[in-house]
Amino acid sequence: MLPVHGGDIQRAASRAGIGPQAFLDASASLVPWTPRWKCLGLSAWRDYPDRTQTLLCRRLGVLHGCHMSFVMPGNGAAELFTWAARDASKLGGSVLQVPHFADYLRALRCWSASLLQQQLPLVWCQMFPQPFPAPGAGAVLWICNPHNPTGQLWSRASLERHLSRFELVICDEAFLPLVPNGDQQSLIPLVARHPNLVVIRSLTKLYGIAGLRLGYAVAQPERLQRWSEWRDPWPVNGIALAVGERLLASPRRYHRWCKRVQRWVATEGAWMQQQLAMLAGISPMPSAANFLLIRSEQSLVPLREALEQRHRILLRDCRSFEGLGETWLRIGLQSPRNNRRIVRAMRQELQRNPLA
């Protein structure tokens, strides 16, 4: 079975018969380090979590310059896509750009929603931000900015014009805080004026805390109140809430963290682009995000398998991205040391089994 998400390190470990700690997981696109914090209090483990997530909502509101009623934390972005898709299913056809993150399709299928999948051009320039390709006709528009899996960054101006055309616009900005100057393209400042706009973000990518499952939606209060009536009683666990509250306690510290992450993306992204371009048979695509999509004229499945089996390195198999296939792989940026490990391993395997 093809992986629907990156980060399936347990399955790779099971195949190899070794522990997951032996692998370098570049199939998931997370910051390669996490913040240090003091031990969480006993109440985060013992007590039922706050069902209203009041403190975290307040801190997210301060961060984005909006009232806390415009914010809803979720059990990762995935939970929030489910409720966005429920709204979408009542309005008509959803327009999705192909390739796209598989969870949009999963969420829409929950509610038997109709959709139109529109192929993105698979060649693009290096200048970001870029204009968003004109979408087809439909009632709901799904946007990913920066786009996953291609890494293209769309301009706010090219996105804003569609807010008057669609009944609902859902914008996934999970990776935007990791992009240098990315927040200049965010749609969050437009939410107060557009009741048909939902922006969904993830804290797990930015802080490398995917195991905690913590994301949030920014939308007008009436919509979020409706969503809250559909949810489980405690959608965000107490440990995730406590960690999120600490991470966002200081907007200054949040912005300082983002700057550090963005410097890493800019530096390591440029280095990886340069190194991968020197590998025979490999074409790295321009990316504004903390991951790179690479392509070849031949299947990259043997290369991915060799990296897993001989080097204990996991890259993202792109066959589960509709519109891509076995000639594509995605690489999540790692620490400088581990990025060099990836390039070295790829070079060795391509010398052993050339693509060109």
Which domains occur in the chain, in start order? 9-30+253-352 (3.90.1150.10), 42-249 (3.40.640.10)
The pLDDT of residue 19 is: 67
- Cα of first residue to Cα of last residue in the chain, in angstroms, is 28
The pLDDT of residue 271 is: 98
Banded model confidence at residue 313, pLDDT cuts 50, 70, 90: very high
Report the C-alpha gap between 306 and 342 in whole angstroms.
Answer: 12
Which region holds residue 211: left if phi is over 0, alpha if psi is between -120 and 50, else beta? alpha
Choose between 35 and 177: higher pLDDT: 177
The pLDDT of residue 36 is: 77
Tokens linked to 355: 């693509």
Mean pLDDT for 183-201 is 98
pLDDT digits 0-9 by tens, 242-289:
999 999 999 999 999 999 999 999 999 999 999 999 999 999 999 999
pLDDT at 7 over 60: no
| Whole-number percent of the chain with pLDDT over 90 | 82
Question: Which alpha helices (DSSP H) does 217-335 contain, by range?
Answer: 221-228, 238-247, 251-277, 301-311
Cα 355 off chain centre by: 30
Lowest average pLDDT, out of 42-51, 105-114, 268-277, 321-330, goes to: 42-51
pLDDT, averaged across the chain: 92
pTM: 0.94
Mean pLDDT for 151-179 is 97
The pLDDT of residue 322 is: 84
The pLDDT of residue 42 is: 62
The pLDDT of residue 41 is: 67
Helix pair 336-352, 251-277: axis angle to 10 deg? 20
Q: What residues pair up with 141 in beta bridges, in sequence order?
A: 95, 169
